[in-house]
Protein backbone atom coordinates (compact mmCIF):
# COMPACT_ATOMS: atom_id res chain seq x y z
CA UNK A 1 0.00 0.00 0.00
CA UNK A 2 1.25 3.45 -0.93
CA UNK A 3 1.13 4.73 2.65
CA UNK A 4 1.87 8.40 3.10
CA UNK A 5 5.61 8.98 3.24
CA UNK A 6 6.69 12.21 4.90
CA UNK A 7 9.80 12.14 2.72
CA UNK A 8 7.62 12.92 -0.28
CA UNK A 9 5.53 16.04 -0.70
CA UNK A 10 1.92 14.94 -0.20
CA UNK A 11 -1.06 16.79 -1.57
CA UNK A 12 -3.52 18.40 0.82
CA UNK A 13 -6.17 16.10 2.27
CA UNK A 14 -9.67 16.82 3.58
CA UNK A 15 -11.37 14.86 6.38
CA UNK A 16 -15.02 15.40 5.51
CA UNK A 17 -16.47 13.96 8.71
CA UNK A 18 -14.88 14.09 12.14
CA UNK A 19 -16.04 14.74 15.67
CA UNK A 20 -13.42 16.94 17.31
CA UNK A 21 -16.47 18.32 19.14
CA UNK A 22 -16.66 15.02 21.03
CA UNK A 23 -15.49 14.73 24.65
CA UNK A 24 -12.69 12.44 23.42
CA UNK A 25 -10.95 15.42 21.83
CA UNK A 26 -12.42 18.47 23.50
CA UNK A 27 -9.67 18.81 26.12
CA UNK A 28 -6.94 19.28 23.50
CA UNK A 29 -8.32 20.12 20.07
CA UNK A 30 -5.24 22.18 19.02
CA UNK A 31 -3.00 19.13 19.41
CA UNK A 32 -5.22 16.98 17.20
CA UNK A 33 -5.44 19.75 14.63
CA UNK A 34 -1.64 20.13 14.63
CA UNK A 35 -1.13 16.39 14.13
CA UNK A 36 -3.50 16.43 11.18
CA UNK A 37 -1.57 19.28 9.62
CA UNK A 38 1.67 17.29 9.95
CA UNK A 39 0.10 14.88 7.47
CA UNK A 40 -1.18 17.71 5.26
CA UNK A 41 -4.78 17.16 6.29
CA UNK A 42 -5.57 20.82 5.96
CA UNK A 43 -9.37 20.95 6.09
CA UNK A 44 -11.95 19.07 8.10
CA UNK A 45 -15.68 19.13 8.72
CA UNK A 46 -16.68 19.11 12.38
CA UNK A 47 -19.98 17.27 12.43
CA UNK A 48 -22.64 17.71 15.10
CA UNK A 49 -25.12 15.09 16.21
CA UNK A 50 -27.02 16.78 19.10
CA UNK A 51 -27.53 20.26 20.53
CA UNK A 52 -24.29 20.40 22.52
CA UNK A 53 -22.09 19.02 19.75
CA UNK A 54 -23.67 21.44 17.28
CA UNK A 55 -22.66 24.37 19.50
CA UNK A 56 -19.15 22.96 19.79
CA UNK A 57 -18.86 22.45 16.03
CA UNK A 58 -19.68 26.10 15.41
CA UNK A 59 -17.27 27.18 18.13
CA UNK A 60 -14.41 25.22 16.56
CA UNK A 61 -15.22 26.53 13.08
CA UNK A 62 -14.99 30.07 14.44
CA UNK A 63 -11.66 29.38 16.15
CA UNK A 64 -9.87 27.37 13.44
CA UNK A 65 -9.74 28.45 9.81
CA UNK A 66 -9.30 24.86 8.62
CA UNK A 67 -12.50 23.63 10.30
CA UNK A 68 -16.07 23.90 9.04
CA UNK A 69 -19.27 23.14 10.96
CA UNK A 70 -22.00 20.74 9.89
CA UNK A 71 -24.85 20.60 12.37
CA UNK A 72 -27.84 18.38 12.97
CA UNK A 73 -29.25 15.48 14.96
CA UNK A 74 -28.26 11.89 14.34
CA UNK A 75 -31.12 9.38 14.63
CA UNK A 76 -30.39 8.20 18.17
CA UNK A 77 -30.49 11.76 19.56
CA UNK A 78 -33.68 13.08 17.98
CA UNK A 79 -35.66 12.79 21.22
CA UNK A 80 -34.11 16.07 22.37
CA UNK A 81 -35.56 18.01 19.42
CA UNK A 82 -38.30 20.47 20.38
CA UNK A 83 -39.68 23.75 19.05
CA UNK A 84 -37.21 25.83 21.05
CA UNK A 85 -34.20 23.84 19.84
CA UNK A 86 -35.45 23.95 16.26
CA UNK A 87 -35.70 27.74 16.47
CA UNK A 88 -32.10 27.93 17.70
CA UNK A 89 -31.04 25.46 15.01
CA UNK A 90 -32.61 27.58 12.28
CA UNK A 91 -30.52 30.54 13.45
CA UNK A 92 -27.38 28.42 13.66
CA UNK A 93 -27.81 27.27 10.07
CA UNK A 94 -27.44 30.89 8.97
CA UNK A 95 -24.03 31.22 10.63
CA UNK A 96 -21.28 31.74 8.04
CA UNK A 97 -19.24 28.98 9.67
CA UNK A 98 -21.94 26.38 9.05
CA UNK A 99 -21.62 24.69 5.66
CA UNK A 100 -24.09 21.83 5.93
CA UNK A 101 -26.90 19.96 7.67
CA UNK A 102 -26.18 16.73 9.55
CA UNK A 103 -25.45 14.31 10.51
CA UNK A 104 -29.01 13.20 10.04
CA UNK A 105 -30.73 10.17 8.63
CA UNK A 106 -32.19 6.82 9.63
CA UNK A 107 -30.78 4.04 11.79
CA UNK A 108 -32.91 0.94 12.35
CA UNK A 109 -30.04 -1.21 13.62
CA UNK A 110 -30.46 -0.70 17.35
CA UNK A 111 -33.70 -1.81 18.99
CA UNK A 112 -33.54 1.01 21.54
CA UNK A 113 -33.29 3.76 18.90
CA UNK A 114 -36.34 6.02 18.45
CA UNK A 115 -39.14 4.55 16.33
CA UNK A 116 -38.86 4.57 12.55
CA UNK A 117 -41.74 7.04 12.38
CA UNK A 118 -39.98 9.45 14.76
CA UNK A 119 -36.73 9.14 12.85
CA UNK A 120 -38.45 9.86 9.55
CA UNK A 121 -40.11 12.95 11.00
CA UNK A 122 -36.79 14.34 12.27
CA UNK A 123 -35.04 13.49 9.01
CA UNK A 124 -37.75 15.26 7.01
CA UNK A 125 -37.49 18.33 9.26
CA UNK A 126 -33.75 18.59 8.69
CA UNK A 127 -34.03 17.89 4.97
CA UNK A 128 -36.58 20.70 4.68
CA UNK A 129 -34.16 23.12 6.34
CA UNK A 130 -31.31 21.92 4.14
CA UNK A 131 -33.52 22.65 1.14
CA UNK A 132 -34.58 26.05 2.48
CA UNK A 133 -31.02 27.21 3.16
CA UNK A 134 -29.47 25.30 0.22
CA UNK A 135 -27.05 23.48 2.50
CA UNK A 136 -25.71 20.02 1.57
CA UNK A 137 -26.88 17.25 3.87
CA UNK A 138 -24.64 14.66 5.54
CA UNK A 139 -26.61 11.42 5.72
CA UNK A 140 -26.27 8.59 8.23
CA UNK A 141 -28.01 5.37 7.19
CA UNK A 142 -27.87 1.96 8.83
CA UNK A 143 -30.23 -0.93 8.13
CA UNK A 144 -32.48 1.67 6.48
CA UNK A 145 -31.16 2.05 2.94
CA UNK A 146 -34.51 1.97 1.12
CA UNK A 147 -36.28 4.40 3.43
CA UNK A 148 -33.28 6.74 3.35
CA UNK A 149 -33.36 6.75 -0.44
CA UNK A 150 -37.10 7.38 -0.51
CA UNK A 151 -36.90 10.38 1.83
CA UNK A 152 -33.96 11.92 -0.04
CA UNK A 153 -35.84 11.55 -3.32
CA UNK A 154 -38.99 12.99 -1.74
CA UNK A 155 -36.97 16.00 -0.52
CA UNK A 156 -35.49 16.67 -3.99
CA UNK A 157 -31.98 16.37 -2.60
CA UNK A 158 -30.57 17.05 -6.05
CA UNK A 159 -31.51 20.71 -5.45
CA UNK A 160 -29.16 21.12 -2.47
CA UNK A 161 -26.82 18.14 -2.56
CA UNK A 162 -25.31 15.91 0.03
CA UNK A 163 -23.13 12.97 0.97
CA UNK A 164 -23.73 9.43 2.14
CA UNK A 165 -21.43 9.31 5.14
CA UNK A 166 -19.27 6.24 5.96
CA UNK A 167 -21.01 4.33 3.19
CA UNK A 168 -21.10 0.53 3.40
CA UNK A 169 -23.71 -0.31 0.78
CA UNK A 170 -23.38 -2.22 -2.47
CA UNK A 171 -22.43 -0.72 -5.84
CA UNK A 172 -26.10 -0.93 -6.85
CA UNK A 173 -27.20 0.92 -3.72
CA UNK A 174 -24.49 3.53 -4.26
CA UNK A 175 -25.73 4.07 -7.81
CA UNK A 176 -29.22 4.86 -6.50
CA UNK A 177 -27.81 7.67 -4.38
CA UNK A 178 -25.44 8.83 -7.10
CA UNK A 179 -28.45 9.15 -9.40
CA UNK A 180 -29.91 11.60 -6.85
CA UNK A 181 -26.74 13.69 -7.15
CA UNK A 182 -25.24 12.49 -3.86
CA UNK A 183 -21.55 12.09 -3.12
CA UNK A 184 -20.27 8.91 -1.45
CA UNK A 185 -17.82 9.05 1.46
CA UNK A 186 -15.73 6.18 2.80
CA UNK A 187 -14.31 5.80 6.29
CA UNK A 188 -11.77 3.43 7.81
CA UNK A 189 -14.15 0.55 7.13
CA UNK A 190 -12.88 0.58 3.55
CA UNK A 191 -9.42 -0.42 4.82
CA UNK A 192 -10.58 -3.48 6.80
CA UNK A 193 -9.52 -6.88 5.45
CA UNK A 194 -13.03 -8.26 5.83
CA UNK A 195 -14.67 -5.34 3.99
CA UNK A 196 -14.23 -6.66 0.45
CA UNK A 197 -17.80 -5.70 -0.46
CA UNK A 198 -17.18 -2.09 0.58
CA UNK A 199 -13.94 -2.06 -1.40
CA UNK A 200 -15.84 -3.19 -4.49
CA UNK A 201 -18.21 -0.29 -3.94
CA UNK A 202 -15.26 2.12 -3.68
CA UNK A 203 -14.16 1.01 -7.14
CA UNK A 204 -17.62 1.67 -8.57
CA UNK A 205 -17.82 5.34 -7.55
CA UNK A 206 -17.14 8.01 -10.19
CA UNK A 207 -14.03 9.91 -9.17
CA UNK A 208 -15.86 13.23 -9.11
CA UNK A 209 -18.25 11.93 -6.39
CA UNK A 210 -15.69 10.31 -4.09
CA UNK A 211 -14.98 11.60 -0.56
CA UNK A 212 -13.00 10.36 2.45
CA UNK A 213 -13.55 10.71 6.19
CA UNK A 214 -12.40 9.39 9.53
CA UNK A 215 -15.64 9.58 11.55
CA UNK A 216 -13.21 10.03 14.46
CA UNK A 217 -13.13 8.96 17.23
CA UNK A 218 -14.78 5.90 15.68
CA UNK A 219 -13.71 3.42 12.98
CA UNK A 220 -9.92 3.82 13.09
CA UNK A 221 -8.48 2.52 9.82
CA UNK A 222 -6.02 -0.30 9.35
CA UNK A 223 -3.29 -0.32 10.73
CA UNK A 224 -4.66 1.71 13.68
CA UNK A 225 -7.69 -0.48 14.44
CA UNK A 226 -8.47 -0.73 18.12
CA UNK A 227 -7.10 2.75 18.84
CA UNK A 228 -9.04 6.00 19.09
CA UNK A 229 -9.37 7.46 15.63
CA UNK A 230 -8.38 11.05 14.81
CA UNK A 231 -8.30 13.28 11.71
CA UNK A 232 -4.67 12.64 10.80
CA UNK A 233 -5.51 8.99 10.14
CA UNK A 234 -7.49 9.92 7.05
CA UNK A 235 -4.18 9.59 5.21
CA UNK A 236 -4.41 5.82 5.67
CA UNK A 237 -7.83 5.84 4.03
CA UNK A 238 -6.59 7.95 1.13
CA UNK A 239 -3.65 5.58 0.66
CA UNK A 240 -5.81 2.47 0.74
CA UNK A 241 -8.30 3.87 -1.75
CA UNK A 242 -5.42 4.92 -3.98
CA UNK A 243 -4.25 1.31 -4.03
CA UNK A 244 -7.74 0.02 -4.79
CA UNK A 245 -8.10 2.44 -7.70
CA UNK A 246 -4.57 2.10 -9.08
CA UNK A 247 -3.91 5.76 -8.35
CA UNK A 248 -1.22 7.60 -6.42
CA UNK A 249 -1.78 9.00 -2.94
CA UNK A 250 -1.59 12.53 -4.30
CA UNK A 251 -4.13 11.86 -7.03
CA UNK A 252 -6.74 10.60 -4.56
CA UNK A 253 -5.95 13.36 -2.05
CA UNK A 254 -6.37 16.01 -4.74
CA UNK A 255 -9.54 14.46 -6.18
CA UNK A 256 -11.29 14.06 -2.83
CA UNK A 257 -10.27 17.50 -1.60
CA UNK A 258 -11.51 19.13 -4.79
CA UNK A 259 -14.77 17.20 -4.54
CA UNK A 260 -15.31 18.26 -0.92
CA UNK A 261 -14.67 21.89 -1.67
CA UNK A 262 -17.11 21.75 -4.57
CA UNK A 263 -19.89 19.99 -2.62
CA UNK A 264 -19.74 22.42 0.30
CA UNK A 265 -19.26 25.47 -1.95
CA UNK A 266 -15.86 26.29 -0.47
CA UNK A 267 -14.40 26.67 -3.94
CA UNK A 268 -16.82 29.57 -4.46
CA UNK A 269 -15.62 31.22 -1.24
CA UNK A 270 -12.03 30.97 -2.44
CA UNK A 271 -12.93 32.51 -5.78
CA UNK A 272 -14.84 35.33 -4.10
CA UNK A 273 -11.94 36.04 -1.76
> Residue 145 belongs to what domain range?
14-272
> Does some domain include residue 2?
no
Element (H, E) at 146: helix 145-154
Residue 68 is labelled as binding a ligand: no
What is the chain's pLDDT, residue by residue, as a tens digit (273 residues)? Answer: 445 554 567 899 999 999 999 999 999 999 999 999 999 999 999 999 999 999 999 999 999 999 999 999 999 999 999 999 999 999 999 999 999 999 999 999 988 999 999 999 999 999 999 999 999 999 999 999 999 999 999 999 999 999 999 999 999 999 999 999 999 999 999 999 999 999 999 999 999 999 999 999 999 999 999 999 999 999 999 999 999 999 999 999 999 999 999 999 998 765 454
Residue 103 is labelled as binding a ligand: yes
The maximal CA–CA distance of the chain, rounded, in angstroms, is 53
> Does some domain include residue 76?
yes
> Does some domain include residue 261?
yes
- Taking the C-alpha atoms of residue 84 and residue 160, their distance in angstroms, rounded to an integer, is 25
Taking Cα atoms as reference points, which of 67, 23, 22, 86 lies closest to residue 48?
A: 22
> Does some domain include residue 7?
no
- pLDDT value of position 3: 52
> Does some domain include residue 8?
no
Question: The pTM is what?
Answer: 0.95
Which 8-state DSSP code applies to residue 187?
Answer: -
Residue 27 is labelled as binding a ligand: no
> Does some domain include residue 267?
yes
- Taking the C-alpha atoms of residue 175 and residue 185, their distance in angstroms, rounded to an integer, is 13
Residue 17 is labelled as binding a ligand: yes
CATH of the domain at 184: 3.20.20.140
> Does some domain include residue 236?
yes
- Taking the C-alpha atoms of residue 228 and residue 214, their distance in angstroms, rounded to an integer, is 11
| Cβ proximity of 216 and 187 under 8 Å | no
Residue 235 is labelled as binding a ligand: no
Number of independent structural domains in the chain:
1
- pLDDT value of position 10: 82
| Cβ proximity of 256 and 44 under 8 Å | no
Nearest-5° Cα angle at 206, 261 to 224? 70
> Does some domain include residue 9?
no
- pLDDT value of position 159: 98
N-to-C CA span, the chain = 38
E strand segments, the chain: 13-18, 41-47, 67-71, 98-107, 137-142, 162-164, 183-186, 210-212
β-partners of residue 162 are 137
Amino acid sequence: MAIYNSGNQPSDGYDTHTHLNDDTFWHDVPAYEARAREFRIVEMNIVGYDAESNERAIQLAREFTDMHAIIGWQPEDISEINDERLAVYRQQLQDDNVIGVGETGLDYYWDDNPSAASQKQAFRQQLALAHEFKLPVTVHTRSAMNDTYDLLKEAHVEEFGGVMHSFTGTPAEAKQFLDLGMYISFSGIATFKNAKDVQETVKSIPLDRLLVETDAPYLAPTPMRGKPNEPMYVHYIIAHIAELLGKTYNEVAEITTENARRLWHLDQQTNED
